Structure 1
Amino acid sequence: MEKNKTFTPVEQSFLNDVPRNNKVNVPYIVVDNFPNLGMLTALRFLEWVHENPAGVISLPTGKTPEYFIFWTKHILENWDSESILELRNRHGLMFQDKPSLADLYFVQIDEFYPIQSSQANSFYHYVNKYYIEGFGLKRENALLINSNEIPLAEGRNFEEIFPDNKVNQELRYREAQNALEKLQKESIFLIDNWCSEYEEKIRGLGGIGFFLGGIGPDGHIAFNIKGSDPYSTTRLTSTNFETQAVAAGDLGGIEISKERLVITIGLETITHNKNAVAIIFAAGEAKAPVIKNALELPPSNLYPASVLAGLPNGRFYITLGAAGMLNDYIDDYYRSGTWSQEKTDKAVMSLTRKLNKYAEHLTLDDLREDQYTQLIPGLDEHTVQSVIDSINGKIKKGTERLSSEVFYHTGPHHDDISLGLLPYIHYQSRNETNASHYSVLTSGFTAVTNKFLIKILNDTLSFVKKDEIEMLQYPDFFEAGYKNKKDKDVYHYLINIASGNAYERSRAVSHRMVRNIVELWTLKNRQDLEIRISEIITAVNFSYDGQNPEPKIQTLKGMIREYEEELVWAHFGVRTKNVHHLRLGFYTGAIFTEKPNRERDVIPILKQLRDINPTVISLAFDPEGSGPDTHYKVLQAIAEAVREWGKEKDLSNIKIWGYRNVWYQFNAADVTHIFPVSLNAMSTMDESFTNSYMSQVDASFPSYRYDGKFSHLSIQTWVEQLKDVQLVLGKPYFYDNESPRLRATHGLLFFKEMDVEEFLKSARELEKSTEGAF
């Protein structure tokens, strides 16, 4: 496309050839993947710094900036190297003198309140580590939000004023009812005053010159949630459920983030300087709806990011998935490239939703009047039937019985496989000629709250002291016995699900905890065990919620998740030897998980591929990082292992199944298999989830889409997918079908089958962009 003169040289180098016919509120640029999003943002930042060496910047926290930070440092540290010189020339960074960040002024965007500034999960700690220190900025040039330094009543600290970390904003509007509330009320007004002074300091610098921020699931920027006033300034405020769900990972659970207020700069703080470069960046299909709202709907309080429409230099930088619902990209999808049955399916299904009309009732005039179905080659009265046949074929393929297959089901985290494929796995596992292996690639310890761990440890200590862990009496237990009979721990738990004996279930969990603690700390006797359990309880009690624990406690938390995974598959007769726990080393619980590397993260997967020799590999298919960042990093590690495996044997008959779950979904037109899910299958999945994933039942880390268990959200997704397909096939296709399985259908599960070449092609671009990860 013709280069838009409003874009800078760096931006022009990233513009693609998608025609832009749709009017949007803010100019946008689309890149292929998450790492390239960071590269574009870093290059544009350095381009701006070169022109504004003493400018005012405000940069984001969280996981989204990972590659922005990486590329900024990498480019600066290797400025004159051959590879970076070539990169700079290719992307319009033509000046020779390396930009200096030392004289920039920095403005912290937001912070939880209250929170100790020393905590690693505070944004104050984040900006100091990654921006002040990481970028070499001057601390005296930084405006920071330090909860410990905000003045409160009588000069007290926030732990005295708000002992439970809860700030009751109602005190702004009602009288205090006791001495503590009086101090709290006075303190809230002091915080408000501090926020006003913070805003005044930003204005005193001339406002923010370069703003970079992510966008939340409700469309928020900074902590300006949906409904925020476009003229808002820095303030103490509450958040909504979507924001709290995202923050739960930082704060150690939604039960904490629901109670925590935030201090945030306002929307007008961001737009005060009309010459500011203000960039929102976002990756993945999950962000597509909020991107569409912000860019294509009239600016509104409902879409906070739409305030960038008032800035000539406002921009959105997004990945292909995040751009997927924009009219420009939908239009380009249909008008460019070769027409396929997938496009026909997608166009007709979209029309059924648009008109709320069953496919069999669509007329030829309906098809000719729609801007996309009219493009279908050979459009005639048989076109709709071709879509019906296509979807029906996917259901037939999904219900085919497979035999003599070796399944290697992988998940980035515990519960991913179950949430993505369980009903289908259960269906195929009934054929005893099939063999199944389940491999969880990371330890997933961050999903176990301190509160949950302490309860289990207290229960375990109690059972030990009451002599109710009988295996401790075996003479060789502390030497070798602790390694044996792990299947018995699983059976002990599940048999007491059947009998409804909660006490014995707790004892079963304690048996496994004893084995784990003895193994991790190489204990030699019962007395050492009791002392160690007490020490772990003390250590966890003295850590703050969301704190990354010391390595052995990390592993202990992960082992709880591993036991839970074994319980799930034992529901279906799978032995623990077929449930594998890889604990790939890149997963450390740090804000930015490391890039996978070959020796540590790829070779263990390759070894399993060699040992198991699967005919089918299933994986969470998230090439853009719509879900947790672990997903796409695991995807790359699996892809590299498969590449290596392909050097040793012919993989032409290997099938790859890409599944999705609670974080992102397929369109029915994009998949190869559609599997009918009955009420019984939904109940089985929900019960196995509830019975097994003990640490997740309280949904401390929920999806922003649903306030509850992931199992319920998966079921909700299957039901929604059925509704879409019913518009094509009609409801009678299901309730009046000759097949009892289809008559029992109340949800649909989608997945995509690929051959090895197709899978590796989908992963290759991201692998290349991580530059030397392998």
Structure 2
Amino acid sequence: MTTESLVLNGSDGQVAGYPPAGGPIQSAITYEKIPTHIYADAKNASRAVAHEIAELIRSKQREGKQAVLGLATGSSPKTVYAELVRMHREEGLSFQNVVSFNLDEYYPMEPDSVQSYWRFMREQLFDLVDIPTGNYHVPDGTVRTDEVAEFSKQYEAKIEAAGGLDFQLLGIGGNGHIGFNEPGSLINSHTRLMMLDNSTRAAASSDFGGLPKTPRKAITMGVASILNAKRVVLMAWGERKAPVIQEALEGVVTELNPASYLQTHPNALFVIDEAAASQLTRMKAPWLVDSVVWDNSMKKKAVTYLSLALNKPILKLTDRDYNDNGMSDLLALSGQAYDINIDVFNQLQHTITGWPGGKPNADDTNRPERAKPAHKRCLIFSPHPDDDIISMGGTFQRLVDQGHDVHVGYQTSGNIAVADDEALRFADFVVDFNSKFGIDSPEASRIFEDAAEFLRDKKDSEVDTPEVRYIKGLIRMGEAKATCRFVGIPIENAHFMNMPFYETGTVAKKPLGEADVQIVMDLIEEIKPQQIYAAGDLADPHGTHKVCLDAVMEAVRRLKDKDFMQDCWVWLYRGAWAEWDIHEIEMAVPMSPDQVMKKRLGIFKHQSQKDGVVYQGTDAREFWQRAEERNRGTAALYNRLGLAEYEAMEAYVRWKY
């Protein structure tokens, strides 16, 4: 079954009900079984969804009726709510006729708890618009267990009494859950108490200070409750959602991926960004769904895809392989398979270099980096205090060993990722040390004593005090310095930037501000680098890596006309979560087994991030394991394509600003 990906309105290609600015990527025919709009970024996608909701509210107002909304929580809808609030304040959008029902709530959960969805909705939307107090509803996480079944029936009855949901907003979990309908949920399920899947709890654990403190249950609207809505829009951002999005859209309807049930809905829509869409056929192999422009980038993408799909080295691909797999147009344009194979093989070969800073006195025509200047000033931006060694530790070491002047800008303190018991141990040590040796520093003693007292009595819902955050930041700073000493750069080359957006004490951060950008600009101007390395990991578009990358990009744009920037190249690395697609890689730095081991030992300097870190996520592996498997995976891909076999590789894409 195939569907048109967009319903167009008018000759300008505008999507009905959606603003033209920042509109979705268009494709004639897709493999998707649900209409899908793909946007370049989450901001434009969220704006489009907010405008559809606003138009529904206004149309109901004109009819003198209520607009009944089903609302979601989590990171995905935040920007939608922010846009609705903006329209309320600047455009007069009224919520007086809105009645809302939220999908779910953790159980048990007090409504004023930091993690409560009641609190989330009030802070993100309800308290910021003119919706009447009695018009919004969120499942009650305080009802007694023996009352949950009756509460659930009453919740459904309230939705029915309101006339049913006109619009249901959804996010999607990494395992395909919608609401808290975990895999195994039936299509006829209604509001109920649900046991949470371990992967769901792991993904939420950052909000609760670790997996042991994360609730095991939640009250959720059921699949049938969601499917009864007149309109359903599901949103997803970031490449971590890409596999489950592909399964929901292109796979079969199955209880193993509850989002796939939306294939049965007559008026459902997926609104996703490019990263979340990356596994869809029209993105991964667009030549299979539509005609494409066979530029060099598309040719590399197609040839590497074909080689890996057929499990044949590039140089063994034949004309028949191209013809049988939707690439006859490429053959017609470029000649026989042999010529295409040689061209792409050579391009991949030229990405591999053991000299990430450029090889002195060498012909750099086919090398990814310049030979001159022989000794470069290199500035590595590390969003957290360990991203430098985790994501590009082998390259970091190579740059130092090959004589470059390497600096590291640690963009945030990383303090929220330190466990409370680790901070308490550190605070107790300082207090005991000062007491033992009679060190009299009243201010320092007060900081550590107050922090220790707070940590001993800390409640799960409490946010760390400034003193505790300071101690946790010191721990991570010390670990970063230890890594720098291990790699071989002087401590004065480690720059602790402490960007303000991060310092909230919670997982939720402030938006990127002018002060953040200025801090990045100041460091770039101080170093005047010929190379900049920055984290291009966009797995979570609302996460720290993305904000840090935005700050670097904005700073570079503002400084690009400076004389020293005329000879500065920016290389983007990926974090421990994912790697660049093979056709995107422009520089691959190989590592020997000894270099892999040295990188591991460098990661070990970050002791607070070992043995069950606070924000482990759904991946149970430690960071050194994730990094090694990813680096070995990149090397294995090169080998499968028919290139030399290396132990591991770190990969980069150049950003041409």
Normalised TM-score (structure 2): 0.89
Aligned to 1:545: 460
Cα deviation for residue 620 of structure 1 reads 0.9
- How far apart, CA to CA, are the structure 2 residues paired with 1:47 and 1:585? 37
Structure number with the higher helix fraction is: 1
Q: Which amino acid aligns with 2:94?
A: S
**Contact 1:108/1:143 (CA < 8 Å) preserved in 2?**
yes
Aligned to 1:324: 278
1:437-476 alignment runs, 5 A limit: 437-467=407-437, 473=439
Aligned to 1:379: 335
Structure number with the bigger relative contact order (C-alpha 8 A, sep ≥ 6) is 1
SS at structure 2 position matched to 1:658: strand
1:643-677: CA deviation from partner (whole Å, max 9, x where unpaired): 23224325232110100022332012101111223
**Contact 1:627/1:664 (CA < 8 Å) preserved in 2?**
no
Aligned to 1:353: 308
Aligned to 1:91: none
Q: Which amino acid aligns with 2:79?
A: Y
Tell me, yes or no, if structure 1 residue 393 matches structure 2 residue 307: no
- How far apart, CA to CA, are the structure 2 residues paired with 1:260 and 1:379? 59
Which residue among 639, 646, 650 is the counterpart of 2:560? 646
Aligned to 1:142: 136
Aligned to 1:431: 402
Cα deviation for residue 317 of structure 1 reads 0.7
**Contact 1:411/1:620 (CA < 8 Å) preserved in 2?**
yes
Q: Which amino acid aligns with 1:284?
A: G
Change (3 A) 1:250 1:333: farther
Cα deviation for residue 125 of structure 1 reads 1.1
SS at structure 1 position matched to 2:540: coil
Change (3 A) 1:398 1:326: farther
Cα RMSD (Å) of the superposition? 2.7
Tell me, yes or no, if structure 1 residue 283 matches structure 2 residue 237: yes
Tell me, yes or no, if structure 1 residue 68 matches structure 2 residue 80: yes
Which residue among 174, 179, 194 is the counterpart of 1:237? 194
- How far apart, CA to CA, are the structure 2 residues paired with 1:78 and 1:592? 25
Change (3 A) 1:675 1:306: same
Which residue among 596, 600, 612 is the counterpart of 2:512? 596
* Structure 1 residue runs without a partner (length 5+): 80-97, 152-186, 474-524, 735-744, 760-774
Cα deviation for residue 430 of structure 1 reads 0.5
Tell me, yes or no, if structure 1 residue 209 matches structure 2 residue 166: yes
Which residue among 298, 306, 311 is the counterpart of 2:265? 311
- How far apart, CA to CA, are the structure 2 residues paired with 1:656 and 1:425? 15
Change (3 A) 1:191 1:585: same
- How far apart, CA to CA, are the structure 2 residues paired with 1:222 and 1:16? 25
Change (3 A) 1:540 1:628: farther
Q: Which amino acid aligns with 2:313?
A: Y
**Contact 1:345/1:669 (CA < 8 Å) preserved in 2?**
yes
**Contact 2:386/2:606 (CA < 8 Å) preserved in 1?**
no
Cα deviation for residue 454 of structure 1 reads 2.0
Cα deviation for residue 243 of structure 1 reads 1.6
1:329-375: CA deviation from partner (whole Å, max 9, x where unpaired): 34547866653333222212211222223334332211221113652
Which residue among 88, 102, 112 is the counterpart of 2:106? 112
Tell me, yes or no, if structure 1 residue 44 matches structure 2 residue 44: no
Cα deviation for residue 230 of structure 1 reads 2.1
Aligned to 1:728: 641
Q: Which amino acid aligns with 2:393?
A: L
Cα deviation for residue 445 of structure 1 reads 1.9
Tell me, yes or no, if structure 1 residue 102 matches structure 2 residue 96: yes
Change (3 A) 1:2 1:667: closer
**Contact 1:398/1:674 (CA < 8 Å) preserved in 2?**
no
Which residue among 579, 587, 600 is the counterpart of 1:673? 587
Aligned to 1:90: none
Tell me, yes or no, if structure 1 residue 265 matches structure 2 residue 221: yes
Q: Which amino acid aligns with 1:607?
A: D
Aligned to 2:177: 220
Q: Which amino acid aligns with 2:135?
A: N
SS at structure 2 position matched to 1:22: coil
Aligned to 1:164: none
- How far apart, CA to CA, are the structure 1 residues paired with 2:579 and 2:542? 14
- How far apart, CA to CA, are the structure 1 residues paired with 2:444 and 2:6? 71
Change (3 A) 1:595 1:292: same
Tell me, yes or no, if structure 1 residue 414 matches structure 2 residue 385: yes
Aligned to 2:492: 577
Cα deviation for residue 123 of structure 1 reads 1.6
Aligned to 1:747: 648
Tell me, yes or no, if structure 1 residue 131 matches structure 2 residue 125: yes
- How far apart, CA to CA, are the structure 2 residues paired with 1:703 and 1:340? 38
Which residue among 12, 17, 20 is the counterpart of 1:10? 17
Cα deviation for residue 456 of structure 1 reads 2.3
Change (3 A) 1:457 1:236: farther
- How far apart, CA to CA, are the structure 1 residues paired with 2:132 and 2:588? 56
- How far apart, CA to CA, are the structure 2 residues paired with 1:141 and 1:465? 58
Aligned to 1:32: 40
- How far apart, CA to CA, are the structure 2 residues paired with 1:547 and 1:382? 64
Which residue among 471, 484, 495 is the counterpart of 1:556? 471
- How far apart, CA to CA, are the structure 1 residues paired with 2:9 and 2:557? 43
1:512-527 alignment runs, 5 A limit: 525-526=440-441
> For structure 1, which segment, 690-699 or 444-453, has the greater mean C-alpha deviation from structure 2 after superposition?
690-699
Q: Which amino acid aligns with 1:104?
A: V
**Contact 1:347/1:373 (CA < 8 Å) preserved in 2?**
no
1:501-516 alignment runs, 5 A limit: none
SS at structure 1 position matched to 2:570: strand
> For structure 1, which segment, 443-452 or 600-609, has the greater mean C-alpha deviation from structure 2 after superposition?
443-452
Aligned to 1:301: 255
Change (3 A) 1:347 1:191: same
Which has the greater radius of gyration?
A: 1
Aligned to 2:623: 710
- How far apart, CA to CA, are the structure 1 residues paired with 2:248 and 2:450? 51
Aligned to 2:367: none
Q: Which amino acid aligns with 1:385?
A: I
Change (3 A) 1:371 1:546: farther
Cα deviation for residue 12 of structure 1 reads 7.2
- How far apart, CA to CA, are the structure 2 residues paired with 1:216 and 1:337? 32
Tell me, yes or no, if structure 1 residue 663 matches structure 2 residue 577: yes
Aligned to 1:366: 321
> For structure 1, which segment, 586-595 or 103-112, has the greater mean C-alpha deviation from structure 2 after superposition?
586-595
- How far apart, CA to CA, are the structure 2 residues paired with 1:248 and 1:193? 29
- How far apart, CA to CA, are the structure 2 residues paired with 1:211 and 1:358? 47
- How far apart, CA to CA, are the structure 2 residues paired with 1:146 and 1:461? 44
Aligned to 1:635: 549
1:498-526: CA deviation from partner (whole Å, max 9, x where unpaired): xxxxxxxxxxxxxxxxxxxxxxxxxxx34
- How far apart, CA to CA, are the structure 1 residues paired with 2:566 and 2:217? 55
- How far apart, CA to CA, are the structure 2 residues paired with 1:535 and 1:656? 44
Change (3 A) 1:672 1:130: same
**Contact 2:399/2:406 (CA < 8 Å) preserved in 1?**
no
- How far apart, CA to CA, are the structure 2 residues paired with 1:19 and 1:591? 37
**Contact 1:255/1:700 (CA < 8 Å) preserved in 2?**
no
Normalised TM-score (structure 1): 0.76
Q: Which amino acid aligns with 1:562?
A: M
Aligned to 1:94: none
SS at structure 1 position matched to 2:546: helix
